[in-house]
C-alpha cells in the first residue's frame, strides 16, 4: 500500500511525487509515455528552447547597429532543433534521476481508477498491475484540440506537438488561433524567416490580455511581416500536394503548413472516473481548490484537467503542493489564483498578473489605471527595445488589482508585481521602493508612481 498513487508524470504528477518526500510519503507514479509531460516534452521547454534560438538569431542580425560586424547570419533549423532536443533530454533525465533519488516508484503504463484507493496500470504487453494507495492524485493533463475540418494529419495540418518536431523549416505557415501558443509560434517563425499568416476570430492578439499589450505585440509582428487576420474565421482547408489553401472571408492563402492552436482538451475520457463517482464537466474535473480534492474522498486532481484554473505548468506545481499538503497534514496550502504570473514568450515578451482592467471592472471594482511606455526608459533605449509598456490596474483609492508588462524581460520582471498584487499592496506602498538605474524595471516604478498621482519622468 502506497501513501499516494499518481496518474500522469507531467508537471502536476511529478511535482506531487517530488513534494511528497517532505512528509516521508511513499509514491507510485504511473506514466503511459515518458516522464515530463507536455511541459518538458511537447510544451514549455522545447518551445522556449526554439524561441531562444530565434532571439539569438535576431540579436546577431541586428549586431551591426551595436558596432558588432559579422558576416550575414543564416538560421540553421536542424541545429536549433538538435539543441532543443538536448535541452529537453537534459531536463527529462535530470527529473528521472531526482525522482529516483527521492524514492518514487515509477510504473510504465496507462493508469485508470479502479475504486476508492485502487488504480489499475495497463501495460503495453497486455498485462496489468493493481496498485493500492491511501490517496490518489489524477494528473493526466491535456492534448491539443482542433476545429471541424482541421483534423491533424501531422503533415499538412498540425498541432504544436508536430510543429515542435518539424525536421525542416517551413517557408510559409498559417497559424489558426492567436492565443498564447499561436502567438509564440508566430513570433519565433517570423523571426527566423518563415512567412506567417495568423488567424484569430476575436479582434485582438491573445484575447483576454490588456489591449495596450496586444498593440505592442501587433506593432512588433507587423514590423516582422506577420500577416495578422483578426476578427476572421477560416473556412475548410484544401490540401493539395505539399501545400494547403486556407480560405477566409473572400480571400484565401496557400501555405506549406497549417498549425492549429485553438486550445487544449483534458485527457480524462478513458481513466474510469465513474469508478469513484466523479462527474467531469466537459472532461474537466471539479475540485475544492482549497485542497484540490475531487467529489470523491481521497481522490485529488491537479494541473490541466482541473475545471476553471489556468492550464500552466507553474499552476500544476502549485496545485500539486496543495494536494500533497492536504494528504499529508490535512492542512490547506491553497493556490492564490489571483496572483499567478502569465507570460507570453513572444518578442517582445508580454506578462501580466492579477486582473486586467476589463476583468476588474466586470468583477465590480471602480478602477483607475496608469501606463508608462518604454520609449524614454534609458535601459530600453540602450537595448534598442523601446516598444514596450507597463500598465497598472488599481482599485480607486485602494489596492493594486493587476499589472501588465510588455517589453524585453517582461517574463522575469512580472514577479515584482506578483508580490505587490499578491500582498494586496497599495500603489503608494509599492511605489515607495527604489528601482535600480538604468533598468527596464524602472518603467514599473514609474507606472506605480503615476498610480499615486505623483509621477517622476
**What does 260-307 look like in DSSP terms, one character per residue?**
E-S-EEE--TTS-GGGGT---BTTBBP-BTTTTB-SSTTEEE-GGGBT
At its nearest, how many Å lie between ligand FAD and the CB of residue 128? 12
Helix axes of 11-19 and 313-329: crossing angle, nearest 10 degrees: 40
Site map (CB under 6 A) of ligand FAD, residues 18-57, x = contact: ------------xxxx---xxx--xxx--x----------
- Which residue of 53, 160, 194, 346 would you call a contact of ligand FAD, by CB under 6 A? 160
> Cell 514568450 belongs to which residue?
345
Residues in the chain: 457
Nearest CA among 14, 69, 2 for reference residue 323: 14
At its nearest, how many Å lie between ligand FAD and the CB of residue 164? 7
**Catalytic one among 74, 123, 415, 437?**
437
Residues 370-409 that bind ligand FAD (CB under 6 A): none
Asked if 360 touches ligand FAD (CB under 6 A), the answer is no
Q: Which region, judged by CB under 6 A, interacts with ligand FAD, from 10-18, 225-233, 241-249, 436-444?
A: 10-18
Question: How many alpha carbons fall within 13 Å on the CB side of residue 315?
Answer: 24
Give the list of residues 6+ apart from residue 336 with CB closer than 8 angstroms, or none.
Answer: 422
Asked if 311 touches ligand FAD (CB under 6 A), the answer is yes
- Which residue of 5, 8, 131, 229 would you call a contact of ligand FAD, by CB under 6 A? 8
Asked if 140 touches ligand FAD (CB under 6 A), the answer is yes
Asked if 445 touches ligand FAD (CB under 6 A), the answer is no
- Which residue of 2, 5, 9, 443 would you call a contact of ligand FAD, by CB under 6 A? 9
Let me know: does 265 contact 145? Beta carbons within 8 Å.
yes
Let me know: does 300 contact 27? Beta carbons within 8 Å.
no
- Which residue of 191, 200, 210, 304 would you call a contact of ligand FAD, by CB under 6 A? 304
Total residues at the site for ligand FAD (CB under 6 A)? 36
123 is catalytic: no
Let me know: does 237 contact 259? Beta carbons within 8 Å.
no
Residue 421: all three cell numbers together: 498584487
At its nearest, how many Å lie between ligand FAD and the CB of residue 251? 28
- Which residue of 18, 313, 335, 420 would you call a contact of ligand FAD, by CB under 6 A? 313
How far apart CA 375 and CA 386 sit, in angstroms, is 5
Asked if 341 touches ligand FAD (CB under 6 A), the answer is no
At its nearest, how many Å lie between ligand FAD and the CB of residue 321? 13
Nearest CA among 192, 352, 174 for reference residue 261: 174
Let me know: does 186 contact 175? Beta carbons within 8 Å.
yes
Q: Which is it for strands 350-354 and 264-266: parallel, antiparallel or unpaired?
A: unpaired
Q: Which region, judged by CB under 6 A, interacts with ligand FAD, from 96-104, 137-145, 214-222, 447-455?
A: 137-145
How far apart CA 293 and CA 300 sit, in angstroms, is 4
Q: Which is nearer to ligand FAD, 318 or 431 (CB)?
A: 318
End-to-end CA distance of the chain: 64
Let me know: does 60 contact 73? Beta carbons within 8 Å.
yes
Let me know: does 303 contact 139? Beta carbons within 8 Å.
yes
- Which residue of 137, 316, 380, 418 would you call a contact of ligand FAD, by CB under 6 A? 316
Asked if 146 touches ligand FAD (CB under 6 A), the answer is no
- Which residue of 174, 181, 209, 431 would you call a contact of ligand FAD, by CB under 6 A? 181
How far apart CA 400 and CA 423 sit, in angstroms, is 9
Asked if 287 touches ligand FAD (CB under 6 A), the answer is no
Q: Which is nearer to ligand FAD, 283 or 378 (CB)?
A: 283
At its nearest, how many Å lie between ligand FAD and the CB of residue 417? 17
Residues identified as active-site: 437
Instruction: Using CB under 6 A, list all residues that contact ligand FAD.
Output: 7-13, 30-33, 37-39, 42-44, 47, 110-111, 139-142, 160, 181, 267, 271, 303-304, 311-314, 316, 345
Amino acid at each position: 500500500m502506497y501513501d499516494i498513487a499518481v496518474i500522469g508524470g507531467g508537471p502536476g504528477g511529478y511535482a506531487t511525487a517530488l513534494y511528497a518526500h517532505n512528509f516521508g510519503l511513499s509514491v507510485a507514479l504511473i506514466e503511459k509515455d515518458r516522464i515530463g509531460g507536455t511541459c518538458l516534452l511537447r510544451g514549455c521547454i522545447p518551445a522556449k528552447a526554439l524561441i531562444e534560438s530565434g532571439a539569438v538569431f535576431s540579436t546577431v542580425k541586428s549586431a551591426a547597429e551595436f558596432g558588432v560586424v559579422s558576416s550575414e547570419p543564416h538560421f540553421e533549423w536542424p541545429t536549433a532543433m538538435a539543441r532543443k532536443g538536448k535541452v529537453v533530454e537534459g531536463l527529462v533525465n535530470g527529473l528521472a534521476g531526482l525522482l529516483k533519488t527521492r524514492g518514487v516508484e515509477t510504473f510504465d503504463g496507462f493508469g485508470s481508477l479502479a475504486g476508492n484507493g485502487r488504480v489499475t496500470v495497463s501495460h503495453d504487453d497486455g498485462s496489468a498491475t493493481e496498485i493500492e494507495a491511501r490517496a490518489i492524485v489524477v494528473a493526466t493533463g491535456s492534448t491539443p484540440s482542433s476545429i471541424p475540418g482541421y483534423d491533424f494529419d501531422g503533415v499538412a495540418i498540425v498541432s504544436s506537438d508536430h510543429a515542435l518536431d518539424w525536421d525542416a523549416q517551413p517557408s510559409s505557415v498559417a497559424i489558426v488561433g492567436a492565443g498564447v501558443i499561436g502567438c509564440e509560434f508566430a513570433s519565433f517563425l517570423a523571426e527566423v524567416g518563415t512567412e506567417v499568416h495568423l488567424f484569430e476570430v476575436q479582434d485582438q492578439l491573445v484575447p483576454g490580455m490588456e489591449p495596450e499589450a496586444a498593440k505592442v505585440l501587433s506593432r512588433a509582428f507587423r514590423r516582422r511581416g506577420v500577416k495578422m487576420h483578426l476578427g476572421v474565421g477560416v473556412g475548410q482547408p484544401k490540401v493539395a500536394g505539399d501545400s494547403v489553401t486556407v480560405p477566409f472571408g473572400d480571400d484565401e492563402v496557400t501555405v506549406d503548413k497549417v498549425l492549429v492552436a485553438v486550445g487544449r482538451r483534458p485527457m480524462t475520457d478513458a481513466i474510469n472516473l465513474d469508478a469513484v463517482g466523479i462527474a467531469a464537466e466537459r472532461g474537466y474535473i471539479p475540485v475544492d481548490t482549497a485542497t484540490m480534492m475531487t467529489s470523491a474522498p481521497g481522490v485529488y486532481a491537479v494541473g490541466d484537467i482541473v475545471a476553471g484554473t489556468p492550464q500552466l505548468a507553474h499552476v500544476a506545481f502549485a496545485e500539486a503542493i496543495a494536494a500533497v499538503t492536504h494528504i499529508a497534514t490535512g492542512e490547506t496550502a491553497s493556490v492564490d489564483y489571483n496572483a499567478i504570473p502569465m507570460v507570453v514568450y513572444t518578442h517582445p515578451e508580454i506578462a501580466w498578473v492579477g486582473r486586467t482592467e476589463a476583468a476588474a471592472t466586470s468583477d465590480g471594482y471602480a478602477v483607475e489605471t496608469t501606463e508608462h511606455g518604454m520609449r524614454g526608459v534609458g535601459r530600453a533605449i540602450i537595448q534598442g527595445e523601446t516598444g514596450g509598456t507597463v500598465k497598472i490596474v488599481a482599485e480607486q483609492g485602494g489596492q493594486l488589482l493587476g499589472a501588465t508588462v510588455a517589453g524585453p524581460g517582461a517574463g522575469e520582471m512580472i514577479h515584482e508585481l506578483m508580490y505587490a498584487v499578491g500582498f494586496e499592496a497599495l500603489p503608494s506602498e509599492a511605489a515607495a521602493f527604489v528601482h535600480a538605474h538604468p533598468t527596464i524595471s524602472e518603467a514599473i516604478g514609474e507606472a506605480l508612481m503615476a498610480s499615486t498621482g505623483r509621477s517622476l519622468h
